[in-house]
Amino acid sequence: MTSQTAAAPPGGTQELVNWLIPEWELVPKSIDDVVRLPSFASKLYECERVCRTPYAELPHETQDALVLRRLQQMFHTVMLNPLWRERLEAAGVVRAPESYAAWQRIPLSDKETQRDFFMDTRPGVVVPHSQGGFEVVASGGTSSGSPLEVIYSLRELRDTYAVAGRFMGDYQLSRYLTGTDPKWLLTTLADYQMWSSGTMVGGVLQSVPGVNFIGAGPVTAPVLEHVFSYRGPKALMGISAGIAILAELGAHMNHRARESFRVALYGSGVLPQRKRSELKALYPNLTILSYFAATQAETIGLQLSEETPELAAVPGLHLVEIVDENGRWVAEGEEGELVVTRLHAHEAPLLRLKLGDRMVRRPRLDGPGLKTQRFEFAGRTGDVLHLNDSQYSAVRAYGALRDELRTAGVVDLDAVAHEIQFVNHREEKTITLYAAVDDVQGLNYRTDTMLGPYGLQRLFVTALPRSLSLFNNGEANAASIEKTGYGLRVKFVPRHSPDIERTHVGKVPLVRDRG
């Protein structure tokens, strides 16, 4: 790559981003050129220096222009790889996108694409991994059961950890971890069996400025009390089940230690309302927030306040897209599939990867201070109830059924359920909602007595049409659901019941299909 002397930065937005990523970096001509490319993180920092503003607080126009310039650079980079070039040319994409509308014509990648490109001989990497300097991160395949690997440049991982860690410190944790005492950030994520979250998220947490990091892994009650006895405020990150169990682990903890627990970050899906209530009753100063991550993207979205469920993207870390079935961006307020492109990926880029999650696109955060994209978790792509040929959102179905049961004065599922799971018995044409509760006999008796099978069926056919999206809400009504022959059962079971299926890492999928 030709060495150039940079001129003074110009004033206009497009001129600025062209100066930050000049032409000789935009279009690398060889693998050696890619290896020598300055990191994208260095461009973010230089943009901050020139604009004299934190990157996350720059106008959306500036952020969008720099990210688009980076996507154009990524396109030219992947075209050096024969497998990527074949994939893009087959889709009719032969030139770098000149706009975000053009970017949306690039085909979506899925888990099979990831497996084909980044496992075995890893033919999808731009810089051969034989050169060294990479990290392989693996997932056990929570949903599919099939292991999945992806490969990252170590130098770029360190950059992403720093960018995400700084964002967490500045915009999420700073309002909760206050005072002059030492501040602590723990994770109970496991770091063994190549399960990625412990490594990836731990790298981010270690990079939050001004905190002390503890990679605790799964903890016992004595270990948790020992760590919480340290002077200073604490934040802890874990999967939903790992956060929920803190209510049990801290039951006999002394009051001063419990008061020091300020932030619980749960990292997988949804934390039941019952668990939130238990945690807040035990830890009086606790705030519970979502930390949304995946194997392929260590920090996708962070909930900044309990007052709103929206997740905020970390500016400059990933391009986060919420798309329809054609890969086009949905409008604000609409639900679509989550697609992520890591912006810090010179050596092993992966374009437009579907992560298997549904999100609702929300208005961008604007005004003074932080400016970033926001979205709201709507469930896993597989969280679907199939009634013959129709599909219903299980997340919405639960919400509608919960509201119907609450209105009827039967039970408040949010208040009593530790865990919930729909099981679709397709041959029997029966959907059973299992709820793990403390008072199994009492709640089963109350439901049977107050509703009976017909009353429950009536609630079911009333609630289910509300689980359709805005554009499909004419697809079904109570009468059409009755015609499917499906019936609903609600069954209360004890905690840790084998009736509720769990993955090998302890997660409870919302939907399970059985023959």
Mean pLDDT of 257-278: 89
Residue 470 has what pLDDT? Answer: 39
Parallel/antiparallel/unpaired status of strands 311-312 and 372-380: antiparallel
Residue 170 is classified by DSSP as I
Please give the torsion angle defined by the CA atoms of residues 489, 495, 496 and 501, in that order, rounded to the nearest 10 degrees: 30
Average per-residue pLDDT for the chain: 87
Look at residue 128 in the predicted model and tell me its pLDDT.
92
Each residue's pLDDT tens digit, 52-70: 999 999 999 999 999 999 9
Residue 303 in this model has a pLDDT that exceeds 70: yes
Domain ranges for the chain, please list them: 1-98, 150-378, 382-511
pLDDT tens digits for 203-238?
A: 899 999 999 999 888 889 999 999 999 999 999 998
Cα distances (Å, whole numbers) of residue 460 to 222, 347, 405, 431: 45, 51, 10, 10
Contact between residue 467 and residue 393 where contact means Cβ atoms under 8 Å apart:
yes
pLDDT digits (tens, 9 = 90+) for 372-417: 999 998 877 777 777 765 677 788 888 888 888 888 898 999 889 9
pLDDT at 511: 84
Identical fold between 150-378 and 382-511: no
Integer Cα distance of 321 and 339 in angstroms? 5
Spatial separation of the C-alpha atoms in residues 245 and 222, rounded to whole Å:
14
Residue 81 pLDDT grade (very low, low, confident, very high; cuts 50, 70, 90): very high
10 Å CB burial of residue 52 (0-12, 13-18, 19+) is exposed
Burial of 202 (0-12, 13-18, 19+ CB in 10 A): buried
| Among candidate residues 437, 470, 249, the one with its CA nearest the CA of residue 361 | 470
Phi, psi of 431 (to 5 degrees): -110, 125
Look up residue 37 and give its DSSP letter: P
Residue closest to 238 by CA, chosen among 224, 254, 257, 258: 224
| CATH of span 382-511 | 3.30.300
Question: Per residue in 253-287, is it b (16+ CB within 10 Å) or e — as a string?
Answer: beeebbbbbbbbbbbbbbbbebbbebbbebbeebb
Least confident residue range of 181-185, 211-215, 428-432? 428-432
Residues 163 and 154: their CA atoms lie apart, in Å, by 14
List the CATH code of the domain at 150-378: 3.40.50.12780
